[in-house]
Structure 1
Amino acid sequence: MNRMKRKPTHPGKIIQEDYLRPLSITVTEMASTLGVSRKTLSKITNERGSITPDMALRLGRAFDTTPELWMDLQKNYDLWMAEHESKDWQKVIPVSPEKLHASA
């Protein structure tokens, strides 16, 4: 597994630091532009909410980026968090074709 060593930046922080602040746009104004509630966008920018596919489409259109950018940022963040918050996934025994055919 070739994973990032450092924690990826939450997409909400990127929205805040790279878009809202430089453009002097408030969360309320951006939420209105996106057609979502201020609470929804605030949760994301405060790193307590996630980018959904619908939100990725909205952000892509608003910021002239791709929805895939936003989904990839969220995916990278979520995977890193899952990998570091719990070690239960390490208890899973890898499956090989030999093992699958032996049990059949």
Structure 2
Amino acid sequence: MDATTRKPTHPGAIIRHDYMEPLNLTVTGLAAHLGISRKHLSQVIHERAGVTSGLALRLARAFNTSPELWLNLQRKCDLWEAERAAPGLETIRPLPQLAGL
């Protein structure tokens, strides 16, 4: 289990703070540029939806980044949340057959 106690930054927050605000982009304008609905982009930047593979490709082209950047940010958030929501996870130990490998 990851020892990180601080929740990772959601990719939507990065889109909002690092791109939209400095570039004076509106949700409507950026959504149109990306070819997605305004509603979907709004859900992502307000951290109610995650970045999908398709959106990662669009963001990478628009912001001159890589799709892996966006997917890795989302993966970190998803794993952090899953580690805290999975009941009984702390009781699972490695299989005895794998000891010493």
**TM-score, normalised with respect to structure 2:** 0.88
Question: C-alpha offsets along residues 44-67 of structure 1, whole Å, 9 cap, x if unaligned?
Answer: 000000000110000000000000
In 2, Cα distance between the equivalents of 1:91 and 1:11? 31
Give every structure 1 segment of 4 or more consecutive aligned residues whose post-TM-superposition deviation is greater than 4 Å.
none
| Aligned length in residues | 99
Please tell me the root mean square deviation across aligned C-alpha atoms, in Å: 1.7
- Distance (whole Å) between structure 2 residues aligned to residue 42 and residue 31 of structure 1: 9
Matches of 1:81 and 1:98 in 2, distance apart? 27
| Cα shift at 1:82 | 1.1
* Larger mean Cα displacement after TM superposition, 29-38 or 79-88: 79-88
Structure 2 unaligned residues grouped into runs of 5+? none
Task: Look up the match of 1:18.
Answer: 18
**What TM-score comes out, normalization by structure 1 length?**
0.86
Structure with greater Cα Rg: 1
Question: 1:74 and 1:84 mapped to 2: Cα distance?
Answer: 16
Residue identity (%): 48
- Aligned mates of 1:98, 1:9 — CA distance in 2: 34
Give the counterpart letter for 1:25 in structure 2: L
- Give structure 1 stretches of 5+ with no counterpart: 100-104
Greater helix content? 1
